[in-house]
Structure formats: structure tokens, C-alpha cells
Amino acid sequence: MNKSSSGMLQIYTGNGKGKTTAAIGLGIRCAGAGGRIYLFSFMKNKSSEHAVLERLKPGFNFYIANRNPRGFWQKMSVQERKDAVDDARLAWAKVQALIAARECDMLILDEAMSLLKYDLVSVQEMLEVVGICKKSGIELVLTGRNVPTEITAVADLVTEMQEIKHFLANGVKARRGIEY
């Protein structure tokens, strides 16, 4: 793998579909070049892409930071939300340990903006992780909606997924293998 001396910050954001898919695609490209990738999925539970990623270990590793089978925050009970907060905090500690050990070439924090939205991580803590990754040569990929301007300002690439039309608006239910 051709690694630069400093890592970059890539962000996939917006209300459109495809943020996680884009980040995973980038991770697969990195793995194909011999890179070591870690994906942390926050505020979502296991989805179909994890079955494929399981086959890419040890080059592409993932950690699901939510034990709730219903997955998304909006569908959780009060207790499930408390569990999700505990899961996210535990995963954030694992992220910090992974970065400190320099055990990856690419780090994907899927739904990282949810950590900020629900006050599980401060913008300052996220910026510290960005700075450490950049100095350490770790490519950092963040996904999620409503990226704070402070984080956008230090990003090297920001792609906004814009929804023009979506079949879910017409009552089509989320389909396994397509939406999750």
C-alpha cells in the first residue's frame, strides 16, 4: 500500500442514501491495496454488509457498537437508548486505544456524527482524534448528518449525499440487502 506521511480526513454526509456504503467501498479499496482497516458502526446494529466484511478479516475488521437488534436510535426504548450510550462509550474507548496503538491504516467511524448529536463525544474530542490520525498517517473516514463546521474545516474531503428522490417516501419498506 502506498501510504503518505500524513493521514487525511474524509467525510460522507447529507440526507441522501449511501454514506456508509461509500465509506465501506473506500475501506474495501484500501484492503485490496494491503491496508488494515477498522470500521466502527455507531448507533446502528449489524447489517448485510457485515457478512461480507467478515470474510475480509483480518485486513478489514469491524466493531458493532450497538447490541440492540432494532438498531436505530429512533426505534429504541429508554433502556435500549441507555444501552446504546454505554455501547458507544465503550466503542469510543476502543477507537482511542486502536489509534494509540497505530494498528490500522484506515479508520471508519460510521455514524460518528450521532456521537456528537447525543453528546457522547464532544466536538473537541472528535477534533483531537482527527489530529492524532492525521499526524499518525491514519486515513480517517467519518459518516453522518449535520457535521459541525469545526470538523468540516479540518476535513480534506467532504462529500454530501443529497436526496433527490427516494422510494421510501412512496411507502416502500426498507429492504434487506439494499437499505440494511
8 Å CB contact between 6 and 135: yes
**CA 12, CA 146: separation in Å to the nearest integer?**
10
What is the phi/psi pair of residue 22, to 5°? Answer: -65, -45
8 Å CB contact between 83 and 71: no
**CA 125, CA 119: separation in Å to the nearest integer?**
11
Query: Domain 9-170 classified CATH 3.30.560.10?
Result: no
From first to last of its 180 residues, what are the pLDDT tens digits of the chain? 655 568 999 999 999 999 999 999 999 999 999 999 999 998 777 778 888 898 999 999 999 887 776 556 667 788 888 888 888 899 999 999 999 999 999 999 999 999 999 888 999 999 999 999 999 999 999 999 999 999 999 999 999 999 889 888 888 888 877 777
**CA 99, CA 136: separation in Å to the nearest integer?**
8
Instruction: List the grid coordinates of 148.
Output: 459541525
Dihedral, 108, 84, 145, 72 alpha carbons, nearest 10 = 110
**Domain limits, the chain:** 9-170
Q: Residues 68-89: pLDDT tens digits? A: 765 566 677 888 888 888 888 9
